[in-house]
C-alpha cells in the first residue's frame, strides 16, 4: 500500500460507491497509529472477506435474517468480535488496526468490519446514523434488517429500536421518520474518525485534533464544516495563514448564511493580524 495520507487523498477523489470501506478505514488507522502492524490487519481483512464469501456460497436461504445470522456466526462466533463495554472510551476502540487486534471496538468501528464483510459477500448494506449508537442495515427489495453490531449482531425490531432510543434520549422519546436513514460510506468513515477527534480535543490535544481534522478532509474535501473547524483550531494555535485558508475554503463551499457571516468576521480579524 502507498503512504497512508497519499492513499487518503486518492480516496477523497472517489465517488462514494467506489470507496472500499475496510481499506479506507485501515489507511486512517495507519495515520492514527503509525507503529501498528497494518499489514497484519490487512491480511485479517482479507480473511474476513474470504470467510464472508464462503458463508454466502454455503447459504441455502437468501432472506435478510439468514444473512444477518451468517455474519454474526462469522464475526461474533468465529472471530470473536464484540463491543467494548469495559473500556468504551479507550482510543484503540476507534482505530481499525487495534480493533482487529483486540476484537473489541466502538459501534462504528465494528460497523466498518461488518460492512466490509457484508459487501465482500455481495450483500447490499449501509450504516445507520442512529442517535448516539451506530447501527448497520442489510438491504433487501424494498426492505431492510437493522443490526446492532455492538451487541453481537442483534437484529433490531421496532420495539427494540424504540427501547434503545429511550435509553439514549429519555423516556419521552419515540421513533420518528428519518432515524434509519442510510449513511454514505464517507459519512461512516467520518463518524469513525470523529471519535478520535473528540477524544484528542477532550484531552486538550489541539494539535492532534487539527491533524485528525486534516486527515478527515483528505477523504472528504467538500465537507464545509470540517474546514471551519480546522480554521478555528489553526486560529487558536496562532497559525494565521492556515486559518485564513481554511476559512476561505469554507466560504467557497458555503458563501451565504449566518455561519458564513461569522466566518467572514473571523477573516477580518485575521487580516488585521497579517497586515
Give tens-digit pLDDT for 108-123.
999 999 999 999 999 9
**pTM for this entry:** 0.94
pLDDT per position as a tens digit, 21-48: 999 999 999 999 999 999 999 999 999 9
Per-residue cell: 32? 492514527
**Residue 223 carries which DSSP code?**
-
- Over pLDDT 90: what percentage of the chain? 85
Environment class of 204 (CB within 10 Å of its CB; exposed 0-12, middle 13-18, buried 19+): exposed
Kindly report the CATH number that applies to the domain delimited by 4-183.
3.10.620
CB 117 within 8 A of CB 20: no
Interatomic CA distance for residues 4 and 74, integer angstroms? 29
Q: Give the chain's length.
A: 275
DSSP state of 154: E
Q: Say what the pLDDT of residue 2 is.
A: 65
Chain CA centroid to CA 220, Å: 12
Q: Residue 13: phi, psi to the nearest 5?
A: -95, -5
Convert the pLDDT of each residue in 194-240 to its tens digit. Answer: 999 999 999 999 999 999 999 999 999 999 999 999 999 999 999 99
In angstroms, how far is CA 217 from the centroid of its own chain? 13
CA distance 83 to 158: 22
Q: Where are the domains of the chain?
A: 4-183, 222-274
The string of pLDDT tens digits covering residues 150-199 is 999 999 999 999 999 998 888 888 888 888 989 999 999 999 999 999 99
Q: What is the CA radius of gyration of the chain?
A: 20
Amino acid at each position: 500500500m502507498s503512504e497512508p495520507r497519499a492513499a487518503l487523498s486518492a480516496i477523497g477523489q472517489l465517488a462514494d460507491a467506489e470507496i472500499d470501506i475496510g481499506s479506507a478505514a485501515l489507511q486512517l488507522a495507519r495515520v492514527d497509529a503509525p507503529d501498528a502492524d497494518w499489514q497484519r490487519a490487512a491480511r485479517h481483512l482479507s480473511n474476513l472477506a474470504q470467510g464472508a464469501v464462503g458463508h454466502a456460497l454455503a447459504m441455502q436461504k437468501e432472506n435478510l435474517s439468514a444473512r444477518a445470522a451468517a455474519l454474526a456466526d462469522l464475526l461474533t462466533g468465529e472471530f470473536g468480535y464484540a463491543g467494548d463495554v469495559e473500556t468504551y472510551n479507550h482510543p484503540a476502540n476507534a482505530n481499525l488496526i487495534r480493533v482487529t487486534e483486540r476484537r473489541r471496538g466502538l459501534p462504528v468501528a465494528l460497523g466498518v468490519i461488518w460492512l466490509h464483510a457484508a459487501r465482500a459477500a455481495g450483500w447490499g448494506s449501509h450504516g445507520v446514523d442512529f442517535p448516539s449508537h451506530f447501527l448497520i442495515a442489510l438491504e433487501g427489495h424494498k426492505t431492510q434488517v437493522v443490526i446492532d453490531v455492538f451487541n453481537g449482531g442483534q437484529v433490531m425490531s421496532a420495539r427494540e429500536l424504540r427501547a434503545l432510543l429511550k435509553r439514549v434520549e429519555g423516556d419521552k422519546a419515540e421513533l420518528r421518520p428519518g432515524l434509519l436513514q442510510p449513511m454514505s460510506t464517507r459519512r461512516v468513515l467520518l463518524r469513525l474518525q470523529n471519535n478520535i477527534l473528540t477524544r484528542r480535543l477532550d484531552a486538550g490535544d489541539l494539535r492532534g485534533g487539527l491533524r485528525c481534522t486534516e486527515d478527515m478532509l483528505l477523504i472528504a474535501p467538500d465537507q464545509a464544516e470540517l474546514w471551519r473547524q480546522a480554521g478555528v483550531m489553526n486560529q487558536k494555535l496562532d497559525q494565521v495563514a492556515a486559518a485564513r485558508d481554511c476559512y476561505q475554503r469554507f466560504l467557497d463551499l458555503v458563501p451565504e448564511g449566518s455561519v458564513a457571516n461569522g466566518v467572514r468576521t473571523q477573516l477580518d480579524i485575521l487580516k488585521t493580524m497579517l497586515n
